[in-house]
Structure 1
Amino acid sequence: MKPHNPRKRGPPAPDNPVALPLPGFVADREEAAARVERLLRYQFRDRALLEEALTHQSFTDGGAAVASYQRLEFVGDAALGLAFSNFLFLTNPTLGPGALSTLRAANISTEKLARVAVRHDLYPLLRRNCPRLDLLVGQFIESVKQEPEDDLGTVPFGGNIVKAPKVLADIVEAITAAVYVDCKFDLEKLWKVTRWLFEPIITAETIDEQPVTALHELCQKHGKVAQFKTWQKGGMTVVNVFVSGELVGIGSSGQKVIAKLNAARDALGKLVGGANQQVLTTRVGNGLGDEIGELRECKQKLNEQCIRKHWPKPIFKLEKENGPAHERKFVCSVQVETQRGTFVTIGDPISRVKDAENSAAQKMLEVLLKL
């Protein structure tokens, strides 16, 4: 590929060279539009819609602002959601609204649509001027190439250690909207033109065998209970899974249902032949006897570690109280924010709040040792 010519419209090369190859750019806009039309087997009445769909907000023409895909992406997100709603409703007559919502979310998640963009090599068609974006997309593309070939179009969420850049999903939604507007908002026509892009479509049989249900069934076999704790962080939903007070799975997503699925799948991987499989066979500690003496130093040790690492101070929270007044048990959690993410652990039920906090701190120290 020839070096980028700054006089042509397209992304400039980054200032610092990187090991990963950067995505290319199709400077010939007629060729870019023709590629999309060949891909869709659809000829646009108004090609200006397609050029708008292939323009990032970072791009300018001689310093002047140019219409970007943002408006089309807004319409495409809604049109794609409705098209999949119709399809899933008609092809799954026995599924309830919850299962249908999960299937729709999986099929139009950022992760799934980003893989659609990678599979069909759409990013080089985008006009942009954002070297940082090129680096992020390049990292994602290279990481996807290391996965099994079948995963490229089927992984709906959390299948990659490199987060899927939203711009890739935006391109798919913007192109979808361009077709939708061009065919006079004919939803049936839109589905006929674009459906095959999303193949293989995720079905009730292929959605990772419902990891939440599988996790609960696995825990029940061993007399355990899986608990999910959810909170919001930076516009993302984060879910932690606990079994016997041990943190065994973490998941995140912009959508709560997908974050929970991510966390359940992560937990299953660690409980079945993974690092945390012993959680299913060990007894839950009661926090009595000599253990209390050891626990009472854990909160202090955790605070000291956070200070050394320049992390925010741990946040302790009383989760619940159980038992009659004369045999009260307290369960506490602790949250620690590190450079690698936010972690939460839940302690064992103990008769004193301070000891319950130390129990949570002990489990957090164990988690941090594994980082």
Structure 2
Amino acid sequence: MSINCIMNRKLLLAAAALALTVVISSCNKEKETFVNVTPAAPVLTADEQDITLNVETNAPSWSAKFKHGNWVKIAYKGEESIIIKMEPNVGLADRTDTLFITAKDVTHAVPVMQQSLLSILSTSGITLKGTDETSFNITSKNAWTIETPEWLRVNPNAGIGPATVKVSALSEYEDVDNRSGNMKITFNGKYYNLHVVQPKKDVIYVSGGGKINVDAFKAEITVGTRTNVDYTVEIDEACKSWISRKSAVQTKALREFEETFDISANDTFEERKGKIVFKYGDAISQSVTVIQKGKDPILKETAPGLYTSSGNTVYEPGKCQLSRSYKSNSNSVSFRILYPESVKAIEFTGLTKDVKVGDMLNLTVQEVSESGTKTYIYETVVLQVENSLVWLKCGTRGFIVKI
């Protein structure tokens, strides 16, 4: 065989091999699997319920599944499409998941995003000012309803599609803290609690009904306050000589206080009044009037005996006498005011030389008759101690005894 024949044969074999390679390569390209999905990256609003995705592939079959699938599900799968269904998003953050479409050895990832509630609701919370009206927008295409606390008014409270909702409080809130509540807005069976706050109205409350009555003695009074402002305390100029602020003690709540004032003794027989004012700026104030009695009329008398509290006349004049006796094993002195004609005796026990104004003593009244003796015990207060004389008061009766 000649050299030329051998060369021609080799060339023919090489050409055949090259042609076979081209054919095999062409066949491989025709069999390469592809998957296309439209829309490629769907974005949905918070209340959209479903969307159809079109699937194009050269594979005879394909499958689909979500990475998580906790809020979005596959509702329907056909040969060339798939419907995914989702719950309304009532959260304030967007959420995402991934849908995987698999055909043979090819897996195509489709990102799915559902926007937050703010895609259909213009606000995540409302702050009211008094009873002024405010509003927010709903841009949902679906039906919705609103439920509110009893102190709120909304209009409208239900609808289908976009709307502007007006909100207002029915009244001012006069308390020391803010008032708050939730409006329940429901979309497709899911609801969102839209938080509403009504700031408190600036207030000052005081206890005691605005009046405090005290006796003529030196005293200490307490006024309870509830407030949400930093108030000041003012005492009438004419009363500063006998009313003075002592302390303010914070109690259980953030804005509850106990205000303590010292009241000097009233050395006159006339009643006097003084006003304590709790103020916040020029707009808010509450006051308490302190009414202090004058000295008891019995203190005008200077002779031992029994007196009435009105008119300063001697009770049963000339028919009583004062006696005293000492008890054993005690520093106290027992005083008896005797009524010989009416067979009555009034006795004070526990009276000592250390007695002071404001002390409470027991007053024993004995009534003696043919049927027997009856004994009554009453509390008696010491009004004054001076020059061995003690002025006492029990009900409408005044007593002056000497120690």
Q: TM-score range by the shorter chain?
A: under 0.3
Structure that is richer in strand per residue: 2
Q: TM-score, normalised by structure 1?
A: 0.22
**Please, what TM-score do these two structures have when normalized by structure 2?**
0.21
**Greater relative contact order (Cα < 8 A, sep 6+):** 1
